[in-house]
Amino acid sequence: GTAPDLAGRHVVVSAGGTREPLDPVRFLGNRSSGKQGYALARTAAARGARVTLVSANTGLPDPAGVDVVRAGTAVQLREAVLKAAADADAVVMAAAVADFRPAAYATGKIKKKDGQDPDPIVLVRNPDILAEVSADRARPGQVIVGFAAETDDVLANGRAKLARKGCDLLVVNEVGERKTFGSEENEAVVLGSDGTETPVPYGPKEALADTVWDLVVGRLA
Ligand code: PMT
């Protein structure tokens, strides 16, 4: 809808995929293009919200009328989201955040050594931003929305993830090498912490975004 039902509200949206550097040349990353998060930012702005878009490694143009903050790694994304969330009415975490990062960063390019096997890549956990913003709400009544990118047992994993993360709404979508990542369309079920399930049929990422904002508006009221 284009009703200004988010007028006077500040919403924070994260989009894209974090990159966790190994050396100046390589990183561990994922297939997120940022399109779903940017659709959320555009539709929120169209509905009258002040929007802060925390964007991780997307090649997309800045949406008109949206404050864009860039973040490369999960640690940087956390800083940017927590800062913007301090006075936000809603936070929507559409970014694909790496659960782990390399334990060590090599300041020079890692070289192959003749006749030697490569060193294993040791990983450490990244902070869980969604769990943190859900546990420490910056203001009472703040609505927190997560996404769940699943490949198997999509709904069962989604329900478990909603409980674990402690958010109000979880948008469960199926992903694969050519599914959802980078495409213009998506299909999802939005799970509510109150047990509700809102299916969203296959269609433009804007349509899913508008359904998310409808559910957020209902919870802000
Ligand atoms: O960008 P597109 O190409 O349009 O693709 C869209 C999308 C598939 C990336 C998007 O719809 C999506 O599902 N985003 C969430 C991807 C993800 O990281 O899912 P997850 O199931 O690994 O994480 C669950 C939730 O926790 C997410 O809201 C994520 O932002 C958050 N998270 C995860 C790990 C972490 N360390 N901190 C987090 O906050």
Kindly report the protein residue whose alpha carbon is nearest to atom 5 of ligand 1: 181
Asked if residue 83 is part of any domain, the answer here is: yes
Question: Buried (b) or exposed (e) across 160-189, using 16+ Cβ within 10 A?
Answer: ebbeebbbbbbbbbbbeeebbbeeeebebb
Nearest residue to 13 (alpha-carbon basis) of 50, 47, 48, 46: 50
User: Would you say the CB of residue 162 lies under 6 angstroms from ligand 1?
Assistant: no
Asked if residue 28 is part of any domain, the answer here is: yes
Residue 199, domain CATH = 3.40.50.10300
User: Would you say the CB of residue 43 lies under 6 angstroms from ligand 1?
Assistant: no
d(CA 172, CA 158): 6
User: Would you say the CB of residue 94 lies under 6 angstroms from ligand 1?
Assistant: yes
Interface ipTM > 0.95: yes
Asked if residue 114 is part of any domain, the answer here is: no
120 known ligand binder: no
- Paired with 145 in beta bridges are 92, 169
pLDDT digits (tens, 9 = 90+) for 14-71: 999 999 999 999 999 999 999 999 999 999 999 999 999 999 999 999 999 999 999 9
pLDDT for residue 3: 80
Domain of 93 in residue numbering reads as 10-108+120-220
Asked if residue 143 is part of any domain, the answer here is: yes
Nearest residue to 190 (alpha-carbon basis) of 164, 216, 166: 216
Atom nearest to 58 CA in ligand 1: 1
pLDDT for residue 2: 66
30 in catalytic set: yes
Domain count, the chain: 1
pLDDT for residue 194: 96
206's enclosing H/E stretch is helix 205-220
State the distance from the centre of ligand 1 to the C-alpha of 175, rounded, in angstroms: 10
pLDDT for residue 110: 95
Asked if residue 5 is part of any domain, the answer here is: no
Q: Which of 31, 55, 130, 186 to mutate to test the pocket of ligand 1 (most atoms within 8 A of CB)?
A: 130
pLDDT means over runs of 10, the chain (221 residues): 88 98 98 98 98 98 98 98 98 98 97 93 98 96 97 94 97 94 97 97 98 98 83
Asked if residue 4 is part of any domain, the answer here is: no
Kindly report the protein residue whose alpha carbon is nearest to atom 33 of ligand 1: 97
pLDDT digits (tens, 9 = 90+) for 7-18: 999 999 999 999
Asked if residue 91 is part of any domain, the answer here is: yes
Asked if residue 96 is part of any domain, the answer here is: yes
